[in-house]
Structure 1
Amino acid sequence: MDGQPTAEVIEQLRDIPLYRESLAQGYFPVLDKPEIARGFPENWMTPRLAAALAAGEAEYVLSTGTNHARMQLIRPPYFLLHSYYRLWREHPDISGTWESGCRRVSLTTVLATEHVARINAARSGVPPQAVPALEDRWLDDRTCYLNLRLDPALWERDEVVRMLQEIETARRAHPRGEYHLDCSGYHLAHLVRKVGEEGLWDEFPPPASIIHAYEYTPVNVRRFLRQHFDCPLIDLFGSTELGYLYYSDRRGAYWPHLDDMSVELHPVAPGSTIFELIVSSVRNPYMPLIRYRSGDCVRTQDGTPDPSGITQFCGRQKELLHTPHGPVAQGDLDRCIGEATARVFLHQLRLAGPAEARLAYTTFDGAPLDTTESAALEHAVGELTGRHCRLEHRAHLPIGPSGKYAWLAGAA
């Protein structure tokens, strides 16, 4: 019925002002972020929510703002963490590392580290430290955060040594000397490169399981990590406001984790096989989102809008590149690069006018692509984008202010 909520879900929405018009009309349109923010928090306030806020069972938070404008939310405390822990506990490939009590060390954006430090400072009633110590970076008794720098490409030897020592501290707390590594794929790849450059492999204890869950992980980064770690590498997909929706197995296939949720796929343009994700969720009882446009794009196994057939989370709707052949997503360019060469690490497509593009890139070994690889990649990217493409090898591509990399720069 075009994604409309069930009678059971509707009963959970009756008191929420935001949904009054939809309830009266008997039809729920797609919900966009501006509608969620308009009139906040009164548009969500119910007697139940007011009581939960007063009792500390619900709290105001901000979304991270790394993929869209920061959005105010109301949710149970540790909503996202509990979603992560549940998935880790139930995952068929890594549930053993949960059950055995592995500590989780998180290597991701410095914004995430700073967030944890602020939470702990507020609990203690003291100002957060400019450089938080390890004890200030434990989110709970199971999870600590490592990164203290915006751009991981600029980590220096003493920072790498500190992070390896903190990993070792977490590892030693386990009876079998195991730990769970939670990361951005990019950040872990940077750490691996730095460890190799500095001759520190003997100081890097291998993790028992790895989850990358913070942003799109490119094909070549996945390859690179698999070459260095002999343990399950699991991809999670989710968001601050929804929790986690899908997970990969150790072979790379995606599986739904949609308790209290349903998903629709809508083509981003007529005839396109790129779909945007529309999610209905009552997992957060204080802010149920019905037919919510998450802004995320996917591709499916057979090009049909079947949520059970998702094979790739391919980027953000607002970052699609419009070409003569139709929209192109981050994952499409990534696949194109990965098929041409395994050596490219970071890349950014920079648009120049209506028909030109430059692909700035770094490599894992620091050396530029050879003439044959360059020509093949320029041709492939040109075919994909409908633009004349020129490669630019760089020693360094800076990270964005959110601690994430932009794949596309310049106006389409």
Structure 2
Amino acid sequence: MKGQPTDAVIQHVRDIPLYQKALAEGYFPLLEKPEIARGFPDNWMTPRLAAALASGEAEFVLSTGTNHARMQIIRPPYFLLRSYYELWSDHPDIAGTWWSGCRRVSLTTVLATEHVARVNAARRGVEPDPVPTLDDRRLDERTCYLNLRLDPATWDRDEVLRMLGEIEQARREHPQGLYHLDCSGYHLAHLVRKALAWNLRDAFPPPASIIHAYEYTPVNVRRYLRRHFDCPVIDLFGSTELGYLYFSDREGRYRPHLDGMSVELLPVADGSTIHELVVTSVRNPYMPLVRYRTGDCVRTSDGEPDPEGIVQFCGRVKELLGTPRGPVAQGDLDRLVGDASDAVFVHRLDVHGGEEATLLYTTFTGEPVGTGESETLRRGLEELTGRRCRIEHRSHLPIGRSGKYAWLTADGA
């Protein structure tokens, strides 16, 4: 039956309480996040898992909660990091930077930095410092985290100099002066803009490779990074509970990385060419997920549900915008903005009921786009959303509590 797990997958889940009903009925329905949490951890507990938890081969962790409510999961220590390192070490464009021993500096949400500092403090049996030192922010011997503020737009000159200095330190630790930059695309773009504004570009050591892997990276942000860095800029897609599933090459084409996994694509609505990603994975042996609804949306090259044909990870199911022509995803708005003007940096669509919307935007230069670009954008938005639209330039759009930007709000909320 289409979408149902193979016999090999069934062997992995045969003893797990959560799946007993599905096993008895011979049919595995879609697995929702609330079902994973209901009765946790007893709904996952097996003798093997209990032994792994006792020995430290498995551990309880929380998902980041940046795209959905935080979810407790069970996994091997460093599960996500090992998935990242495995992909980095095999990547056709940047494997050389892994094998040469590049240090990895990570510039992403302050929540990620705080998590690393908490873990390190817990290992020492102390409370984390309010302002963690560089040593407090080392995930392992190869990776450190840089960001100490929620909103990168508020970084001041001293903060930028500190981060550039920590990048330089990582570069100096490599025999050839190479380092690998891991980032949220937005955060790195903010750092480049500030370095340029304060004439610090020469103090920004050029990376040997870049991966952005923490959130949707807009078309214009990708262009901006490629314009300013003469190295491969790679996108990864994955999650805390699954590891990494897809990666781009340096030209932006996506390829699957589905060891221990299979993927289904289900249309988010009848007739829609936006598909939801449903994953079956035994990569995490302690919490295998069968037909797990990730909540992520994709588009394929021809609109068909072919996991090999994914060309865009376009947002979240919960953030789809209903329109007379069907649901619109974050990636749809982003492509429209990118086609109208490559100057737009951060943008957010505020929807006012069912008839009006306002696109708020910032630019890389701080100046509003031209009249022609603004009008092109307005017309495109009205066609995309089925609403009357206004366009408003802002000097700053605040970041969310998760450290990520909202692309859509209702009534300016």
TM-score after normalising by structure 1: 0.99
What is the rounded CA distance, in whole Å, between the counterparts of 1:13 and 1:327 in structure 2? 35
Equivalent residues in 2 for 1:182-221 (5 A)? 182-221=182-221
Equivalent residues in 2 for 1:65-144 (5 A)? 65-144=65-144
Q: Residue 237 of structure 1 corresponds to which residue in structure 2?
A: 237
Q: Residue 295 of structure 1 corresponds to which residue in structure 2?
A: 295
Q: Residue 385 of structure 1 corresponds to which residue in structure 2?
A: 385
Q: Residue 173 of structure 2 corresponds to which residue in structure 1?
A: 173
Equivalent residues in 2 for 1:7-406 (5 A)? 7-406=7-406
Shift of 1:370: 1.6
Shift of 1:369: 1.3
Give the length in aligned residue pairs: 412
Shift of 1:372: 1.2
Shift of 1:388: 0.6
Task: Give the counterpart letter for 1:37 in structure 2.
Answer: A
Superposed CA RMSD in Å reads: 0.8
What is the rounded CA distance, in whole Å, between the counterparts of 1:13 and 1:254 in structure 2? 30
Shift of 1:352: 1.0
What is the rounded CA distance, in whole Å, between the counterparts of 1:249 and 1:411 in structure 2? 39
**C-alpha deviations, 1:268-308, integer Å up to 9, x for none?**
00000000000000000000000000000000001000000
What is the rounded CA distance, in whole Å, between the counterparts of 1:315 and 1:9 in structure 2? 28
Task: Give the counterpart letter for 2:135 in structure 1.
Answer: E
Task: Give the counterpart letter for 1:202 in structure 2.
Answer: D
Task: Give the counterpart letter for 1:275 in structure 2.
Answer: H
Task: Give the counterpart letter for 2:401 in structure 1.
Answer: P
SS of the equivalent of 2:295 reads: strand
SS of the equivalent of 1:192 reads: helix
**C-alpha deviations, 1:212-259, integer Å up to 9, x for none?**
000000000001111100000000000000000000000000000000
What is the rounded CA distance, in whole Å, between the counterparts of 2:255 and 2:370 in structure 1? 39
What is the rounded CA distance, in whole Å, between the counterparts of 1:263 and 1:11 in structure 2? 18
What is the rounded CA distance, in whole Å, between the counterparts of 1:370 and 1:334 in structure 2? 18
What is the rounded CA distance, in whole Å, between the counterparts of 2:244 and 2:229 in structure 1? 24
What is the rounded CA distance, in whole Å, between the counterparts of 1:83 and 1:367 in structure 2? 41
Shift of 1:411: 6.3
What is the rounded CA distance, in whole Å, between the counterparts of 2:378 and 2:151 in structure 1? 28
SS of the equivalent of 1:54 reads: helix
What is the rounded CA distance, in whole Å, between the counterparts of 1:410 and 1:391 in structure 2? 16
**C-alpha deviations, 1:295-345, integer Å up to 9, x for none?**
000000010000000000000000000000000000000000000000100
Flag structure 2 segments of 5+ consecutive residues without an equivalent.
none
Task: Give the counterpart letter for 2:282 in structure 1.
Answer: V
Between the aligned residues of both structures, percent identity stands at 75
What is the rounded CA distance, in whole Å, between the counterparts of 1:321 and 1:336 in structure 2? 15
**Runs of 4+ with >4 A deviation:** none
Q: Residue 408 of structure 1 corresponds to which residue in structure 2?
A: 408
Shift of 1:78: 0.5
Task: Give the counterpart letter for 1:32 in structure 2.
Answer: E
SS of the equivalent of 1:322 reads: coil
Task: Give the counterpart letter for 2:3 in structure 1.
Answer: G
Task: Give the counterpart letter for 2:351 in structure 1.
Answer: L
Task: Give the counterpart letter for 1:332 in structure 2.
Answer: D
What is the rounded CA distance, in whole Å, between the counterparts of 2:353 and 2:346 in structure 1? 23
Shift of 1:125: 1.1
What is the rounded CA distance, in whole Å, between the counterparts of 2:280 and 2:258 in structure 1? 10
Task: Give the counterpart letter for 1:397 in structure 2.
Answer: L
Shift of 1:126: 1.3
**C-alpha deviations, 1:123-160, integer Å up to 9, x for none?**
11111000001011000000000000000000000000
Shift of 1:2: 1.5
Task: Give the counterpart letter for 1:65 in structure 2.
Answer: G
Shift of 1:371: 1.3
What is the rounded CA distance, in whole Å, between the counterparts of 1:293 and 1:354 in structure 2? 28
Shift of 1:195: 0.2
Flag structure 1 segments of 5+ consecutive residues without an equivalent.
none
SS of the equivalent of 1:77 reads: coil
SS of the equivalent of 2:122 reads: helix
Shift of 1:13: 0.7
